[in-house]
Structure 1
Amino acid sequence: MSDTGDKVTRLLALVPYVLNRGVASITETAEAFGISEDQVRKELEMLWLCGRSSGPEDLIDLMFEQDTVSVTYDGGLSRPLKLTATEAMTLGVALRTLTDLPGATSTGAAERALAKIETAAGQHLDTAGVDIRLAAQDRWLGLAQRAVAEKRAVELRYYTAARDESTHRVVDPVQVFTVDGVNYLEAWCRRAEGMRSFRLDRFEDATLLDEPAVIPVDINPKDVSEGVYRPAPEHLLVELSLGPGWSWVSEYYPSETVEPDPDEPAVLRVSLRVADPAWVAALVRRSGGAVSVLAPDWLARDVRAEAASALAAYSA
């Protein structure tokens, strides 16, 4: 925790600590919080400026006498907590959100906390009608981090956008990393018998298994300092034509050559290596005709045939 975070935590705890003792020893307080006596005095003096409003009658008041300190007015901290309906509902929804995060909290703990909130609010909270939708990658981040920390295998159903299909896999996690705001789980995929990087926002379901992760001894975590995808010499070399508005492809993905089309200066001709030709087909489909395949010929034919089949389906 940062120094600022430590100080805030202490400030929140100092007044209840002194209140519980009536008259507290500065020396004992310093020992309890692991700071010097001078720092205890300085931080307690800061609390003189704190309260519910700027009026002196609402500010915390302290009394120092030799090596002791007492709280003469606590600013309402000793009063039982009473939540408004909005505050209680907000906390209740937050608890429900936590229960939707796998491994974030136990159901029993959440129910006990909700009961305490209802007591403070003086009413029953019906949060069942509140629609909570977590970003998929947030939902699975805790599970992925736990799988890596505990070296446990994960069973998952994963959506592959390039092939527009969902597959069932068991993976052995290696690391969790983030690139461009997207969280990934790098793992040994038993189905593919190789290392793969799985986007957490494409997890459709995941279960932390009670079996240890089994990772080949020669595997090292991926270096993602230059992005997730690192082309290899054995990957397919593809040449694309990128129309206006699609030049970002040459900037986002590692390219071997980028040059303007001699006949259309606004169009780029790009060559890059891809691990899966299905990715190219998906890129062409969603470009609305702005991206086309120039080489290899067989891939260009396959993409054209796929597009023609899709259009025929609309005609039918």
Structure 2
Amino acid sequence: MTDTGDKVSRLLALVPYVLNKGVASISETANTFGIGEDQLRKELEMLWLCGRSSGPEDLIDLMFEGDTVSVTYDGGLSRPLKLTATEAMTLAVALRTLTDLPGAIEGGSAERALSKIETAAGQHLDTAAVDIRLAGQDRWLSLAQHAVADKRAIDLHYYSATRDESTHRVVDPISVFHADGLAYLEAWCRRAEGIRIFRLDRFEDATLLDEPARVPADLTPTDVSAGVYRPAPEHLLVELSLGAGWEWVSEYYPCESTSPAEHSLRVTLRVAEPAWVSALVRRSGGAVRVLAPEWLARGVRSDAAQALAAYGEQ
């Protein structure tokens, strides 16, 4: 499991653990979860941003006293979970996807949870609709796997989130793999004349062509053991200021340097698409700022001003 996956698993387990203890020892809890005390405190502090909504009255609240921590408000975790038919179906889709992933444990927690939801929902759970939705997702996985096995090219319409655009290209498949719960296709892109990695859930349309894949013979498959995104020296070097609650960026993305500043964290990292930086700043609501390069900072400010102006025109 990746570091990010480990952290998410811990965060999901920490609240029930501390609730069960009543008042939990920081040192004992850190030892139980196999991490340092400083890291535990940082992860516990992240829970202050979690809850049923963004309102302060719905967020998890903790109290630290010396070497102990307790949960003063659990964000509703102690209440029995009640799902609408739509929520049950959505959760069933996600759980069925997990149970179909390579390496899923037969009879594991995901399978047991799915069984409970289907039993509780009964006739209100539209299993046909769930199966149809899953079939649509599985169509691209099956197609990609067949393309790799048969060494055939794919005519692909793909949505790029970093550039917010759809592109059409022909790719020559190399491999299919899973990372962080997502399926990817590694392929030689004839348009870019290089190896590219495509998320299967961003396929808009794909057709298996009746022509052989033309993968250059001297290619080396991409090493994704340290993550799907690997910064390259030619990528743009960006300096960001990360405000409270956005320090996770420095842990989730490879950074070349990090340094604490007043009420923030300064990081430098390389990005393949400047548009990704602009999107990150907009999502943060001002908590993330671009410090360098200056031309990118000006562009991000201009994009934000145009977005605000558009709201005023409505």
* Band of TM-score, shorter chain: 0.5 to 0.7
User: Across the two proteins, how many residue pairs are aligned to each other?
Assistant: 188
Task: Identify the residue that residue 307 of structure 2 maps to in structure 1.
Answer: 310
The answer on whether the counterparts of 1:135 and 1:201 sit within 8 Å (CA) in structure 2 is no
Matches within 5 A, 1:1-316: 130=129, 132-134=132-134, 137-261=137-261, 263-264=262-263, 267-316=264-313
In 2, the alpha carbon distance for the partners of 1:137 and 1:173 equals 18
Give a deviation string over 1:105-127, Cα, whole Å, max 9, x none.
Answer: xxxxxxxxxxxxxxxxxxxxxx9
In 1, the alpha carbon distance for the partners of 2:300 and 2:129 equals 44
The answer on whether the counterparts of 1:152 and 1:173 sit within 8 Å (CA) in structure 2 is yes
- What displacement does 1:276 show? 1.4
Q: CA RMSD in A?
A: 2.1
Identity of paired residues, percent?
Answer: 73
1:148 to 1:285, Cα distance in 2 relative to 1, 3 A: same
Give a deviation string over 1:30-50, Cα, whole Å, max 9, x none.
Answer: xxxxxxxxxxxxxxxxxxxxx
Equivalent position SS for 1:133: helix
Give a deviation string over 1:132-160, Cα, whole Å, max 9, x none.
Answer: 32286533111111111111111111111
- What displacement does 1:168 show? 1.0
The answer on whether the counterparts of 2:163 and 2:273 sit within 8 Å (CA) in structure 1 is no
Task: Identify the residue that residue 116 of structure 1 maps to in structure 2.
Answer: none
In 1, the alpha carbon distance for the partners of 2:187 and 2:224 equals 14
The answer on whether the counterparts of 1:136 and 1:200 sit within 8 Å (CA) in structure 2 is no
Equivalent position SS for 2:147: helix
Equivalent position SS for 2:251: helix
Equivalent position SS for 2:244: coil
Task: Identify the residue that residue 104 of structure 2 maps to in structure 1.
Answer: none
- What displacement does 1:260 show? 1.2
The answer on whether the counterparts of 1:136 and 1:201 sit within 8 Å (CA) in structure 2 is no
1:260 to 1:138, Cα distance in 2 relative to 1, 3 A: farther
Q: Which amino acid aligns with 1:200?
A: L
Give a deviation string over 1:83-107, Cα, whole Å, max 9, x none.
Answer: xxxxxxxxxxxxxx9xxxxxxxxxx
Q: Which amino acid aligns with 1:209?
A: L
Equivalent position SS for 1:214: coil
Give a deviation string over 1:56-82, Cα, whole Å, max 9, x none.
Answer: xxxxxxxxxxxxxxxxxxxxxxxxxxx
Q: Which amino acid aligns with 1:176?
A: V
- What displacement does 1:217 show? 2.2
In 2, the alpha carbon distance for the partners of 1:186 and 1:174 equals 5
In 1, the alpha carbon distance for the partners of 2:127 and 2:237 equals 52
The answer on whether the counterparts of 1:169 and 1:189 sit within 8 Å (CA) in structure 2 is yes
In 2, the alpha carbon distance for the partners of 1:229 and 1:128 equals 36
In 2, the alpha carbon distance for the partners of 1:300 and 1:139 equals 41
In 1, the alpha carbon distance for the partners of 2:137 and 2:223 equals 21
Q: Which has the larger radius of gyration?
A: 1
List structure 1 segments (4+ residues) > 4 angstroms apart after TM superposition. 127-131
In 2, the alpha carbon distance for the partners of 1:179 and 1:136 equals 20
In 2, the alpha carbon distance for the partners of 1:134 and 1:289 equals 37
In 2, the alpha carbon distance for the partners of 1:137 and 1:283 equals 27
Q: Which amino acid aligns with 1:279?
A: W
Structure 2 gaps, min length 5: 1-95, 97-125
Equivalent position SS for 1:254: coil
Equivalent position SS for 2:134: coil
1:159 to 1:136, Cα distance in 2 relative to 1, 3 A: farther
Task: Identify the residue that residue 75 of structure 2 maps to in structure 1.
Answer: none
- What displacement does 1:177 show? 1.2
The answer on whether the counterparts of 1:137 and 1:183 sit within 8 Å (CA) in structure 2 is no
Structure 1 gaps, min length 5: 1-96, 98-126
In 2, the alpha carbon distance for the partners of 1:228 and 1:129 equals 34
Equivalent position SS for 2:133: coil
In 2, the alpha carbon distance for the partners of 1:136 and 1:258 equals 42
- What displacement does 1:238 show? 0.4
**TM-score, normalised via structure 2 length:** 0.57
Q: Which has the higher helix share?
A: 2
The answer on whether the counterparts of 2:148 and 2:174 sit within 8 Å (CA) in structure 1 is yes
Give a deviation string over 1:160-212, Cα, whole Å, max 9, x none.
Answer: 11121111111111111111111110111111121111001111111111111
